[in-house]
Amino acid sequence: MSTFDFPRRPRRLRQNPAMRELVAETRLHPADFILPMFVADGIDEKKEISSMPGVYQHTTDSLLRAVEEAAEAGIKSVDLFGVPLDADKDAQGSVSWDPEGVLNRNLTRLREEFGDDMLIMADTCLDEFTDHGHCGVLSTDRHGNTIVDNDATLDNYQRMAVAQAEAGAHIVSPSGMMDGQIEAIRAALDEKGFQDVAIMAYSAKYASAFFGPFREAVGSSLQGDRRTYQQDPANVRESLLEVQMDIDEGADFVMVKPAMPYLDVLTKVAEISPVPVAAYQVSGEYAMIQAAGRNGWVDLDAVMMESLMSIKRAGANQILTYFAVDAAKALS
């Protein structure tokens, strides 16, 4: 049998689990994960989202139980989305800043129940609350075309963010991709005395087909698309501009969304950002892994963990993922 005198044998560092763990360059921890959650009006018990197996629209009671389970698994933050009744939606999305609206009253319950032991993040966007399903206020341009009015929308984002802070959110997360949204929200929060409420900016949010199942989750009323304000999947430099603008305007975190189809963007953002960088493993990413796993085409648990590792390796400090609890349990 031949023996060769190689100067390097990298396989020496792969020979058993202990060695592989010793030299691992990237590590996942339950505290890396943020769990997106949905709470809905008009339901008496939690309701599974058909395109997102294992993910639910919650009642207040089931939400509290699910957050307790997440805390026991080591999760430190949840991101709450509200699903109002269709009858409560209007053109302005005004139920989003109503203290008794579905999102704000459940933010209050979570803060009362968990205090500072669980970081409560609120989705700060109008799309769940408008009857047209867009992330902002509609108006017409000089040619008579319907548009999403950037600056009129910022007024409503300010109202929404302040209401979320008053309800008890530790973090607000503006996701509408309106120009100047971080500066406007920071100013409104500070004016009302909420200097300690952090902002996680959806800085590089693409107009992605991977969002499909999410629209079922929030009962979206959207007609048309969001390509005039979410980013073109062809572009990268645009993301770096958006990120820098959000940092300059006071963002405490920046985010790339979706995650796996945009790992190159995530890496570039991580290289330039002086603030923590999050990535959102979105509904379509989750649904594809679940579908392949449940059909026996892939090992669901292994692919779940590999996908999360890829996001962390690409530069994410925090990962928003519907797998958060399962992944945290697997790590422990």
Residues with catalytic function: 205, 257
Q: Which one-letter amino acid corresponds to residue 221?
A: S
CA–CA separation, 327 vs 312, rounded Å?
Answer: 13
CA distance 62 to 47: 10
Tokens representing residue 223 in the block: 């007609």
Kindly provide the b/e burial profile for residues 215-225, where b requires at least 16 CB atoms within 10 angstroms of the residue's own CB. Answer: bebbbbbeeee
Q: Are 119 and 71 in contact (CB under 8 A)?
A: no
Residues 6 or more apart whose Cβ sits within 8 Å of residue 9: none
Using alpha carbons, select from 84, 14, 33, 107 the residue that is nearest to residue 278. 33
Where does the chain have alpha helices with state H? 17-22, 60-73, 102-114, 150-167, 181-191, 212-217, 237-249, 263-272, 283-294, 300-314, 324-331
CA distance 290 to 301: 9
Q: What are phi and psi of 30, to 5 degrees?
A: -50, -30
